Amino acid sequence: MLLSPAELEVLGLSLKVAFTGVIASLPVALALAYLLARAQFPGKILLDGIVHLPLVLPPVVIGYLLLVALGRNGPLGAWLAQHFGIVFAFRWTGAALAASVMGLPLAVRAMRQAIEAVDRRLEAAASTLGAPPLAVFASVTLPLILPGVLNGMLLSFARSLGEFGATITFVSNIPGETQTLPLAIYSLTQVPGGDAQAMRLCLLSIVLSLSALVVSEIMLRRARRRAHGA
């Protein structure tokens, strides 16, 4: 299945958006996962609900909220553009932001489960040897939860590849700038004679997403065997 230059451009943009979204959301996802797994504080249930809202809200709602807040006339968007020259609306960076928001809950869930599975006695032993909290996390906790972190990143990546509603609402469907695979497929279904090209892109999307999910499942099984000492 050979792809045309236009299809290769869509594929490259989709991968760039997905990778950027995952990398940008990684520190936030890890911090939220650690906070929800270890800390006890008033409003924890509310924070947990807010983190998982993208899973239950229509993606169009997320896209509209991003547009209101980060659009050129939005309070945060206007401030970023004026002081730092950062613009998200109708840019590929906005597509990456929308993808990261939609994929964040999946990353947080996977990382949180990994953190909760860590034997706290191992961390306590490192602390008794004089290691500061940051060193304990870097040398003990992080290696143990690394499979969960990678699993969360892969799930977020697969979700980012399929993001449509929030993206088209926030950054529109601009060829070469914001038109990712789902948006390109949607455009092709609206024009006569675009069915064959749309089908090729559909198959490509399936292959990419399925590959990410298969790798995620393999890593999850390896982590379980490692946890059980197999």
Q: What is the per-residue pLDDT for 217?
A: 80
Q: What is the per-residue pLDDT for 51?
A: 95
- Per-10-residue mean pLDDT for the chain, 230 residues long? 83 94 95 94 94 94 95 91 90 95 95 90 85 86 88 91 94 93 93 88 90 81 64
DSSP, collapsed to helix, strand or coil, labels residue 163 as: coil
Q: What is the per-residue pLDDT for 88?
A: 93
Comparing CA positions, the residue from 125, 92, 96 lying closest to residue 9 is: 92
Our CA angle for 188, 194, 197, nearest 5°, is 90
Comparing CA positions, the residue from 70, 72, 28 lying closest to residue 50 is: 28
Report the interhelical angle of 92-116 vs 142-161 (nearest 10°).
140
**Rounded Cα distance, 193 and 142, in Å:** 51
**Rounded Cα distance, 152 and 18, in Å:** 13
Q: What is the per-residue pLDDT for 65?
A: 95
pTM of the model: 0.88
**Rounded Cα distance, 119 and 166, in Å:** 38
What torsion do the CA atoms of 113, 138, 96, 170 make, to the nearest 10 degrees?
A: 60
Q: What is the per-residue pLDDT for 222?
A: 74
Q: Backbone dihedral region of 174: left (phi > 0), alpha (psi from -120 to 50 degrees) or beta? A: beta
Q: Please give the backbone phi and psi of residue 132, each rounded to the nearest 5 degrees, phi first.
A: -70, 165
Comparing CA positions, the residue from 113, 139, 150 lying closest to residue 34 is: 113
Residue ranges of domains in the chain, CATH in brackets: 5-227 (1.10.3720.10)
**Rounded Cα distance, 163 and 174, in Å:** 15
Q: What is the per-residue pLDDT for 129?
A: 81
**Rounded Cα distance, 82 and 168, in Å:** 24
Q: Which string of b and e fits 2-21 if b means at least 16 CB within 10 Å?
A: eeeeebeebbebbbebbebb
Radius of gyration of the chain (CA): 20
**Rounded Cα distance, 48 and 42, in Å:** 12
**Rounded Cα distance, 183 and 173, in Å:** 6
